[in-house]
Structure 1
Amino acid sequence: MPGGSFNSAALAEEVDVVIARANGSKLYDSDGREYIDCLNGSGPMVLGHARPEVVEALRKAVECPSNFYVLNETGIALAEKMVEAIPCAEQLKYGLSGSDATFFAMRLARAYTGRTKILKFEGGFIGVNDYALMSVTPATDAVYPTPVPDSAGIPTALQDQVLIAPYNDLATTVAIMEKYQSELAAVIIEAQHRSIEPAPGFLEGVREAATRRGIVLIFDEVVTGFRLAFGGAQERYGVLPDLATYGKIVGGGLPLSAVVGKAEIMDLTNPRKSSSPGYSYISSTMSGNPMAAAAGLATLNVLSQPGTYERLYELGDRFRKGTRAAFERHDLPVQTLGSGPLAQLVISDKPVTDYRSSTLGDKALHKKLIDAIVARGVVTHGKFYFSLAFSDADIDQVVSVIDDALTAILKNRQNLKHRD
């Protein structure tokens, strides 16, 4: 398995970890060492590990561990729960991963509009399909709206189908939409861009511009869905997309995703209409499988309980406040991004409003900090995903680890200066 611990983020080899088991807010590696889990499966485990309600739902589901490729009661129950919770959702189609969902949504937007181009935002991660892996981490002198592929192996022809805009820059975004409106099928956006908040009026302006030009607006809610609120970013920011994509939390830790949205668009996926020229094929062998649906339904049932999101926001706010204080003790600037149980650090004194401002921080120090945090028993890949299993003491311990890691890094840096 090339590259070590994480699927897409490289730790220093000396701090690679191999996980053997997990419970609550803790992970245990193959040597029995305990870690506080601020990764939480890169987001799905918002309840923590081995939550009793999810374990019990899976215990019942595993009595018949089948895949049907046919509508099943558990998949329908989860779909009903999601459509009830998500403001834009009238119908739903399952996939397996967030990358599936964004790929399907873009295909569906093309089928609906008869246009081919997609606009996404610089620095936005909307999955690992070939259309999505454009300008996630480009050079900062890239010219809008030209995309920069993030991976080898992506056909060059696809670059002509993707446009790139700067997040939180409404004027530039609308100008691109205006210029390419006859070719532009969709605008796809993480409403909270990675962990960056939208500027006042930005999402509303994009929504208005898309409506005026007959462009499908897609919210990628794979991260924000059921995390920022039970109704996701749509509920938090009060802006309704035409389609939205979901993954991570909705599978309760098992592979599951979904595209949801307006019935007139979603109905293009109806296999009874497969002879229609507008039919958009969306399918996967394991879509809506009852095991993942059972875990997802149990997770959403817990999240819908009173006080859940208040507690998740308390945890995130406690972390951000404590981390700012730790950096201040070391006379270092830091931007603590995110809201609710999601946080990210940029070691900079400049406000972060888009991808380019997020690159102005001390990236070398940030890399050393992440390695040092993991070495001290806190698992993260740079984002901090918190779960309901966290206690206040867990958060305080994470902050203490950050403080201790900074002390060690800065002391080593000072020693190197003295040697020079």
Structure 2
Amino acid sequence: MSVAFDRSSALQASLHRLVPGGAHTFAKGSDQYPEGMAPVLVRGEGARVTDVDGNEFVEYGMGMRAVTLGHGYRPVVDAVRAVLGDGLSFSRPTELELAAAEDFLGLVPGADMVKFGKNASDATSAAVRLSRAATGRDLVAFCSDQPYFSSQDWFVGTLPVNSGVPEATRNLGRPFPYNDLPALRSLLEQHEGRIACVILEAATAMNEPAPGYLEGVRALCSEHGTVLVFDETITGFRWSPHGAQGVYGVTPDLSTWGKAMGNGFPIAALAGRRELMELGGLNTDRERVFLLSSTNGAETVSLAAFRAVVRAYTETDPVATMERQGAALAAGVAEVVAEAGLGEYLDTAGRPSCMVFRTRDTDGNPSQPMRTLFLAETLLRGVLGQSYVISAAHTDDDVARTVEAVRGALPAYRKALESGRPEDLFSGRPVAPAHRRYAEPRRL
């Protein structure tokens, strides 16, 4: 296909003049794509998206993993249209809030109460605040092998890009590695009586829990009077409609949700045990906690979208579809890469419903320049994606088209390996980590 990015590049330059970073999410920034090849999109349907230049792509990543049913999924759109004309926000709760809460708690049997919000960063931050209030402690233990929990200070202070976060706040985080029970035990003992909560993703695309690990984390938190928080932002509705806790059979005290809850509509949730959640309510004799409270936290459109997502997961099996199509993609990519003799330099990894691709240089080391080249070559062949995070809308044809795009990218990839200079095969700077401390000089 013939691909040009003239209008996208012009609009991206305008975005940089008006929006810090040129995007509203770090991972969507133009620095995450080859220079001059950052499409500005106008529409999506299923797993395909179209940009302002008229280019159509098979998309992966799917709205930062938020879209599992596909863009414009009709039952969700119809549910939203059904409530749109009756108003979105009111000065009192709607019956839709009760119905949505019942739907949610029916899926997450370990939770007694739920409170909805608009993004998972607020939900995780509310979980931290609630844990601190419940325990009277300040420190937060977070899994350092998992890259992101919140855009608020308690977590941003732990990132390389932490300018603006007070030093006092930065000092309240305590990292621990995943799948290492002795390390967590040592941390809890070292700070006995000071850690309010342990927060982690029960699993990630790249890391499944070792046998007994989550059970051990649960036991350690109970032993030390520490609140256990599972961040289900990604795993919820992608591992299962019950989240990772439903897959691994370990119940946290609190869990936080977002992304796929609304198939792209903005909705998140904090859920958990009644004795904790009620500290943010009216049925408590203790000092109340300021939990989640926002003007648009329970607007009707996103709640209707969520209920339609629940129905889709009840009536069909999107997780099985994602697992099947992701496995087919991994097998297809592995086949063409092996045929080219490049298996040690390019591969896919992770849970089939949440895969990434990995690019390596001639020494076998992870390489951003090789990643840039691979992104450029697949973009030119109609595939848009920083990952291979798939959806239930990806068809056999979408998968086949992606495999052929990879096949077409391999001659340039081989040439870059042979020369040791991938930079000669793409224009401008290579892509860079999103959460870096400094923004390198670049052309806009």
Q: Report the TM-score, using the length of structure 1 for normalisation.
A: 0.87
In structure 2, relative to structure 1, the CA distance for the partners of 1:410 and 1:340 (3 Å cut) is closer
Unaligned stretches of 5+ residues in structure 2: 1-18, 425-444
Shift in Å at residue 285 of structure 1? 1.0
Counterpart for residue 400 of structure 1: 404
Matched, 1:73 2:84: no
Task: Report if the CA contact (8 A) 2:204-2:235 is conserved.
Answer: no
Q: Which amino acid counterpart does residue 89 of structure 1 have in structure 2?
A: A
Aligned residue among 26, 32, 37 for 1:8: 26
Counterpart for residue 156 of structure 2: 133
Map 1:10-409 → 2, pairs under 5 A: 10=31, 11-124=33-146, 125-134=148-157, 147=158, 149-193=160-204, 195-271=206-282, 273=284, 276-328=286-338, 329-333=340-344, 334=346, 336-347=348-359, 361-381=366-386, 383-409=387-413
- What do the CA deviations read for 1:8-41 (whole angstroms, capped 9, x no partner)? 1322231111111111111011121111111211
Which SS does the other structure have where 2:351 is aligned? Answer: coil
Task: Report if the CA contact (8 A) 1:95-1:256 is conserved.
Answer: yes
CA–CA separation in structure 2 for the residues paired with 1:127 and 1:323: 33
In structure 2, relative to structure 1, the CA distance for the partners of 1:309 and 1:184 (3 Å cut) is same
CA–CA separation in structure 1 for the residues paired with 2:20 and 2:192: 42
Task: Report if the CA contact (8 A) 2:122-2:292 is conserved.
Answer: no
CA–CA separation in structure 2 for the residues paired with 1:201 and 1:153: 39
CA–CA separation in structure 1 for the residues paired with 2:163 and 2:137: 26
Q: Which amino acid counterpart does residue 93 of structure 1 have in structure 2?
A: K
Task: Report if the CA contact (8 A) 2:256-2:270 is conserved.
Answer: yes
CA–CA separation in structure 1 for the residues paired with 2:324 and 2:376: 26
CA–CA separation in structure 2 for the residues paired with 1:168 and 1:403: 36
In structure 2, relative to structure 1, the CA distance for the partners of 1:306 and 1:389 (3 Å cut) is closer
Q: Which amino acid counterpart does residue 64 of structure 1 have in structure 2?
A: D
Shift in Å at residue 399 of structure 1? 2.4
Task: Report if the CA contact (8 A) 1:197-1:338 is conserved.
Answer: no
CA–CA separation in structure 1 for the residues paired with 2:288 and 2:299: 27
CA–CA separation in structure 1 for the residues paired with 2:122 and 2:421: 49
In structure 2, relative to structure 1, the CA distance for the partners of 1:239 and 1:371 (3 Å cut) is farther
CA–CA separation in structure 1 for the residues paired with 2:138 and 2:266: 29
Shift in Å at residue 50 of structure 1? 1.1
CA–CA separation in structure 1 for the residues paired with 2:283 and 2:219: 33
In structure 2, relative to structure 1, the CA distance for the partners of 1:82 and 1:417 (3 Å cut) is closer
CA–CA separation in structure 2 for the residues paired with 1:69 and 1:316: 44
* Farther-moved stretch of structure 1 (403-412 vs 210-219): 403-412
In structure 2, relative to structure 1, the CA distance for the partners of 1:151 and 1:417 (3 Å cut) is closer
Task: Report if the CA contact (8 A) 1:111-1:280 is conserved.
Answer: no
Shift in Å at residue 290 of structure 1? 0.6
Name the count of aligned residue pairs: 396
Unaligned stretches of 5+ residues in structure 1: 135-146, 350-358
Task: Report if the CA contact (8 A) 2:34-2:372 is conserved.
Answer: no
- What do the CA deviations read for 1:178-214 (whole angstroms, capped 9, x no partner)? 2113100101001113542222222121111111111
In structure 2, relative to structure 1, the CA distance for the partners of 1:412 and 1:361 (3 Å cut) is closer
